[in-house]
Amino acid sequence: MVYSSATRCFLFGASFLLSVTLGFSADVPDNLITNGGFEAGMQIWRGDGKIILLPEGNRVCEIEASKSRMKDVKQEFHMKQLQQVEVIFRARSLNYTGPGLRISIHQNGGGSLIWNRQLPADGSWGQFHIVYTRAGGNVDARELNIATLIGTGKVQIDDVEVREPGKVVENQPPQPVTPPPAGTPLPETRPSVPPAVARPSAPPTPAVSAPSLPAGAFGSLADVLKSVPPDSLKKLQNPATVEAGIIEINQYLASNAKGKPAQFRVKIATAEPVAEKRNKFRVRMVDAPVSNESGDDVNGRLWAYFPEGSVPPEGKAAVGSEIVVSGVIVRCDINNKGHLQLNIDLQSSKLASP
């Protein structure tokens, strides 16, 4: 069958939109916003934003402020059965002068709830967290609106999520196994190995750094966090100093982790193709606690982006499998979304080991 150029364009756009929607709906925990990372451009979003490709390869949405009106980006989502959701995103100023951001959630016929937030004055990425509670009614459709208040300059936005508050990723990595009680068969099997066969005592499970770790590379998310000055980490333990600690840590990570090679062993929570020029595939690790050795663990989240030449062979990066992935760190920061979270993105990723 021969299609006209307009029909071919429509079919391509429809299939692309479907793949984007399916890919982002697979996120865990469930994100009610589609294309919240803007990796698929402005698909699904409406408003005044445009996509900017940062030097490290990450795509963000940029809004140029106006002296005459607020400018915004918005997207409709559905509450489904939820009575409460949290809105999470990050944003920064690019020579923006003005009161900051206005975040609102609108219900048709039911009005809007509005929050105003200031942006970090130093141009660093700020983490924003808002909790919204539905006010009854059977209609579950809402519209999220993120706007720049009247001013000049530009604001960049990324990693927008609307999700159930405190949603915990299932399939958390297992905790260290407690040794079985004495008298069970397992401990008795170990002495039965003759000394002459000592070689098998090395367990077949590879270490996190196997295969060999590139020089200067981070070998785990914990290694990244351990590189942070202890005084800054200690500030995370005190609610009065946690925000100052996050700023200090993110400044340190921007200078000492971004652009560095890394090789991590991860269990896959999401594996999906992406439709962008630079990357063709990405995986996200199952969220896991990361020890900061100075208090409570933080939640660890990692995305790895694969260019066309290094997309894992089919079946080698399936959801639930464990892989060793290497790449270059292009995002590394901590935010506070009701819980402390270490976020890492890898670019130029490749599969180091199945």
CA nearest to 296, candidates 229, 345, 342, 248: 342
Q: What pLDDT sits at residue 333?
A: 93
Q: In this structure, is residue 88 part of a structural domain?
A: yes
Last residue of a domain, one of 98, 132, 163: 163
> Over 70: is that where the pLDDT of 190 sits?
no
Q: What is the pLDDT of residues 258-284, one digit of tens each?
A: 989 999 999 999 999 988 888 999 999
Q: What pLDDT sits at residue 331?
A: 93
95 against 199, higher pLDDT: 95
> Over 90: is that where the pLDDT of 236 sits?
no
Query: In angstroms, rounded to a whole number, what is the distance separating the alpha carbons of residues 251 and 247?
Result: 6
> Over 70: is that where the pLDDT of 114 sits?
yes
Mark whether 76 and 154 lie in a shared domain: yes
Average confidence (pLDDT) over 218-228: 88
Phi, psi dihedral angles at 114 (to 5 degrees): -130, 140
Query: In angstroms, rounded to a whole number, what is the distance separating the alpha carbons of residues 82 and 164?
Result: 7
Strand blocks (E) in 70-208: 71-78, 84-97, 101-107, 111-117, 126-133, 141-148, 152-163
Mark whether 159 and 231 lie in a shared domain: no
Mark whether 223 and 318 lie in a shared domain: yes
Last residue of a domain, one of 163, 193, 227: 163
Q: In this structure, is residue 122 part of a structural domain?
A: yes
Mark whether 158 and 243 lie in a shared domain: no
Domain that holds residue 97: 26-163
216 against 76, higher pLDDT: 76
Q: In this structure, is residue 141 part of a structural domain?
A: yes
Mark whether 152 and 226 lie in a shared domain: no
197 pLDDT tier (thresholds 50, 70, 90): very low
Mark whether 141 and 230 lie in a shared domain: no
Greatest mean pLDDT among 126-140, 240-254, 285-299 lies in 240-254
* CATH (domain of 258): 2.40.50
Mean pLDDT for the chain overall: 79
Share of the chain above pLDDT 90, in %: 43
> Which range is least confidently modeled, 74-88, 236-250, 284-298?
284-298
Mark whether 124 and 228 lie in a shared domain: no
307 against 188, higher pLDDT: 307
Mark whether 139 and 45 lie in a shared domain: yes
Q: What pLDDT sits at residue 156?
A: 97
Query: In angstroms, rounded to a whole number, what is the distance separating the alpha carbons of residues 13 and 6?
Result: 11
Residue 294, H or E segment? none
> Over 90: is that where the pLDDT of 28 sits?
no
Q: In this structure, is residue 225 part of a structural domain?
A: yes
Mark whether 143 and 265 lie in a shared domain: no
Q: In this structure, is residue 127 part of a structural domain?
A: yes
Is the omega angle on the peptide bond into residue 29 within 30 degrees of 0, that is, cis? yes
291 against 249, higher pLDDT: 249
Q: What pLDDT sits at residue 80?
A: 87
> Which range is least confidently modeled, 24-33, 200-209, 235-244?
200-209
Last residue of a domain, one of 163, 197, 226: 163
Mark whether 140 and 251 lie in a shared domain: no
22 against 288, higher pLDDT: 288
- CA 272, chain centre distance (Å): 14
Q: What is the pLDDT of residues 42-93, one digit of tens each?
A: 999 999 999 999 988 889 999 999 999 999 999 999 988 888 999 999 999 9
Q: In this structure, is residue 294 part of a structural domain?
A: yes
Q: What pLDDT sits at residue 184?
A: 43
Burial of 251 (0-12, 13-18, 19+ CB in 10 A): middle
Three-state secondary-structure class, residue 124: coil
Phi, psi dihedral angles at 101 (to 5 degrees): -110, 150
Mark whether 152 and 45 lie in a shared domain: yes
Tokens of 262: 């890394």
Q: In this structure, is residue 332 part of a structural domain?
A: yes
Q: In this structure, is residue 195 part of a structural domain?
A: no
Q: What is the pLDDT of residues 121-133, one digit of tens each?
A: 899 999 999 999 8
The total number of structural domains that make up the chain: 2
Q: What pLDDT sits at residue 112?
A: 84
Query: In angstroms, rounded to a whole number, what is the distance separating the alpha carbons of residues 265 and 300?
Result: 13
* CATH (domain of 120): 2.60.120.260
6 pLDDT tier (thresholds 50, 70, 90): very low
Mark whether 265 and 331 lie in a shared domain: yes
348 pLDDT tier (thresholds 50, 70, 90): very high
Q: What pLDDT sits at residue 10?
A: 44
Q: What pLDDT sits at residue 340?
A: 87
